[in-house]
Amino acid sequence: MTREEYIASLRNMKLNVYFMGEKIDNPVDHPVIRPSMNSVALTYELAQQEEYKELMTATSNLTGKTINRFTHLHQSADDLVKKIRMQRLMGQKTASCFQRCVGLDAFNAIYSTTFEIDAAHGTEYHKRFIEYMKYVQDKDLVVDGAMTDPKGDRSLSPSQQEDADLYLRIVEIRPDGIVVRGAKAHQTGAVNSHEHLIMPTIALKEADKDYAVSFAVPGDAEGVIMIYGRQSCDTRKMEKGADIDVGNTEYGGHEALVIFDDVFVPNERVFMCGEYEFAGMLVERFAGYHRQSYACKTGVGDVLIGAAALAADYNGVPKASHIKDKLIEMVHLNETLWCCAVACSALGHRMPAGNYMVDLLLANVNKQNVTRLPYEISRLAEDIAGGLMVTMPAEQDLRDERIGHYVRKYLKGATGKDTENRMRVLRLIENITLGTAAVGYRTESMHGAGSPQAQRVMISRQGNIEAKKEMAKRIAKLDESKDK
Distances (CA, A) of 367 to 139, 335, 346, 411, 445: 32, 14, 16, 39, 8
State the Cα angle at 201 between 84 and 445, rounded to 5°: 40
As separate numbers, helices (DSSP H) first and strands (DSSP E) second, the chain gives: 18, 14
CB 458 within 8 A of CB 286: no
Task: Count other Cβ atoms within 10 Å, centred on residue 433.
Answer: 26
Distances (CA, A) of 243 to 236, 247, 249, 398, 426: 9, 7, 6, 12, 13
Contacts of 281 (CB under 8 A, 6+ apart): 113, 116
CB 250 within 8 A of CB 42: no
Instruction: Give the torsion sign (CA, 440, 443, 445, 451).
Output: negative
Please give the Cα distance from 57 to 79 (Å, whole number). Answer: 10
Nearest to 429 by CA among 391, 470, 475, 382: 382
SS3 at position 340? helix
- How many CA atoms lie within 13 Å of 280's alpha carbon, on the beta-carbon side? 8
Contacts of 166 (CB under 8 A, 6+ apart): 149, 150, 151, 152, 158, 182
Q: CA 451 from chain center: how many Å?
A: 14
Instruction: Give the torsion sign (CA, 211, 217, 222, 227).
Output: positive
Burial class (CB in 10 A: 0-12, 13-18, 19+), 74: buried
CB 287 within 8 A of CB 415: no
Please give the Cα distance from 484 to 479 (Å, whole number). Answer: 11
Residues marked as catalytic: 97, 101, 188, 255, 290, 294, 296, 444
Contacts of 27 (CB under 8 A, 6+ apart): 10, 15, 17, 33, 37, 191, 192
Q: Which phi-psi region, left, alpha or beta, contains residue 60 (left: φ > 0; alpha: ψ -120 to 50)?
A: beta
What angle do helix axes 77-94 and 34-47 make, rounded to 10 degrees?
130
Please give the Cα distance from 431 to 248 (Å, whole number). Answer: 7
